[in-house]
Amino acid sequence: MSTSTTAVGHDEVAALKTVALRGGLREPVKVSCSTLGERLDASSQTASRRLQRLESAGLLDRDVVGDGQWVTVTDAGERRLRGEYADYRRLFEGEAGLSLSGTVTSGMGEGRHYIQLSGYHEQFVERLGYEPFPGTLNVELSEAAVRARAGLDSVDGIPIDGWEDEERTFGPATCYAAEVRADGDAFAPAHVIVPERTHHDEDQLELIAPAKLREELDLADGDEVRVRVTDAERADEPAPSAGGADAGGSA
């Protein structure tokens, strides 16, 4: 499977959904471009191009044979579809955010170093509204949570800008507001931090908070936690008024 920066739009996602509905999430399914084109109200050539773009973007695998092709939705393709699902669920059910479960695990100790770097630390204090504890809580997500993680794309996060010093460049990240629950106790505020550059796999989640979460929630490696992620608002920006920008009057 090859991956690239190939642009994938709504038309390609519709083709991806069609393949998934035919069983392509579970196993390879045989697809002809003429049949796919009919389902998408497009020509065979257009259907073929959409499949090629999906393959180039790493969202599906194809094996072309004489009378068609066998296609399978990849893990990245499933994450894209789950992101679409989260958007529609939010639209029709009014449910913002998502819940991710997993177990506490030890990290490599890099969180402490990066959180204390001035280029990041100043932004955390300004935009999150608190001074984070120098370290992260690492959570290994359950299999279901790894799939659900794609829903982060539909949640509003707080951007943390990249920056550079005399020696190197440091990449940007996004922080998502979170509440951490364990054994009946809960802690907030906290934030899931997702660096643009990371060596962590999709099954790893990092959280920062103004206190040491292990102590606040009496956590040890292997303990189960649930992280509720919701839309985040920047502490350095005023919240929108309920009456809108034109609301006025005196008390």
Greater model confidence, 233 or 3: 233
User: Which pLDDT value is given to residue 2?
Assistant: 41
Give the mean model confidence (pLDDT) for residues 62-76.
Answer: 90
Distance CA 219, CA 96 (A): 27
Lowest-pLDDT choice from 80-94, 97-111, 179-193, 212-226: 80-94
Binding residues for FMN: 198, 206
Distance CA 203, CA 152 (A): 13
Which one of 1-10, 64-73, 108-117 scores highest in mean pLDDT?
64-73
User: Which pLDDT value is given to residue 248?
Assistant: 43
User: Which pLDDT value is given to residue 247?
Assistant: 45
Distance CA 2, CA 12 (A): 17
pLDDT band at 148 (very low <50, low <70, confident <90, very high): confident
Lowest-pLDDT choice from 59-63, 166-170, 176-180, 210-214: 166-170
Give the mean model confidence (pLDDT) for residues 153-180.
Answer: 91
Binding residues for CDP: 107-112, 211-214
Q: What confidence tens digit (pLDDT) does each residue in 79-119 have?
A: 788 778 777 776 776 656 789 999 999 977 777 788 889 99
User: Which pLDDT value is given to residue 239?
Assistant: 64
Bridge-based pairing of strands 163-164 and 185-195 is: unpaired
Binding residues: 107-112, 136, 138, 198, 206, 211-214
Binding residues for Mg(2+): 136, 138
**CB 164 within 8 Å of CB 232:** no
Distance of CA 245 to the CA centre of its chain: 31
Is the pLDDT at 249 greater than 80? The verdict is no
Helix axis angle, 44-56 to 33-40, nearest 10° = 100
Strand spans (E) along the chain: 29-31, 60-65, 68-73, 98-105, 137-141, 158-160, 163-164, 169-170, 173-182, 185-195, 204-208, 224-230
Greater model confidence, 205 or 246: 205
Distance CA 21, CA 17 (A): 6
Name 216's Cβ contacts closer than 8 Å, sequence gap at least 6: 187, 209
Collapsing DSSP to helix, strand or coil, 232 comes out as coil
Single pTM value for the model: 0.66
User: Which pLDDT value is given to residue 250?
Assistant: 37
Distances (CA, A) of 49 to 6, 34, 35, 223: 12, 12, 14, 47
Bridge-based pairing of strands 173-182 and 185-195 is: antiparallel
Collapsing DSSP to helix, strand or coil, 138 comes out as strand
Q: Peptide bond before 195: cis, by omega within 30 degrees of 0?
A: no
